[in-house]
Amino acid sequence: MTIKWTRESFLILLTLIMILVGIFYYGNQILVVPAQESADSSSSIVNDQKALMEVYPPDENLLAEYEAAYEETGAFLPIGEQANEAIVRLEELAGQSSVEIEQVSRIGFRQGVPEAGDSYFSSSYQLDMTGTSPADFRELMDRLVSEERVWNVTSFTYEKSGGSNYTGTLIFNIYYYMEPTE
């Protein structure tokens, strides 16, 4: 079979070639270019991560050191408020100091500590107590400030309530760390 090249056959062939070129061009723009850009982006991220791993290689000793430091500071600034544990410890210290706790009330909750960062908070409490002498109150204060956990006593007052009894009020903050939420 031979094709006779006429004007019509030449125009049909030219039209088919133009359609194929158009399909190739738009197919390349729609399918290949976005896939290539995505691959280049992923390749760039992988290269950046490899470079970062070369600069900061993982070190098991360093990780163990960080974990030990984290556990050590956990006693000072525990994760979460842990108010129940703090009040139980306060009652133990009061019992050792011959002070009777009348009431503990929260007067401030989850106040940010701007100097320390966005993950550190404090809660304020008021403690009403009775004792037989001011020395008992001072002994309780000494025991509080010698605790591992950070107790910040902001106000301490007492007065004679009649007979040999004294009443006192202690306002304190307990500090803690909260994991950032995303």
Whether pLDDT at 17 is above 90 = yes
Whether pLDDT at 74 is above 70 = no
Q: pLDDT band for position 81 (50/70/90)? A: low
Quick: pLDDT tens for 88-135: 888 888 888 888 888 888 887 777 766 766 777 778 888 888 888 888
Phi first, then psi: give them for residue 6, nearest 5 degrees.
Answer: -115, 180
Residues 45/47/48/49 CA torsion (nearest 10 deg): 90
- Of the candidates 99, 77, 79, 81, which has an alpha carbon nearest to the alpha carbon of residue 90? 99
pLDDT score of 45:
92
pLDDT score of 19:
93
pLDDT score of 21:
92
Whether pLDDT at 51 is above 60 = yes
Quick: pLDDT tens for 82-95: 777 778 888 888 88
pTM over 0.85: no
Distance, CA of 124 to CA of 153 (rounded, Å) = 9
Distance, CA of 141 to CA of 145 (rounded, Å) = 6
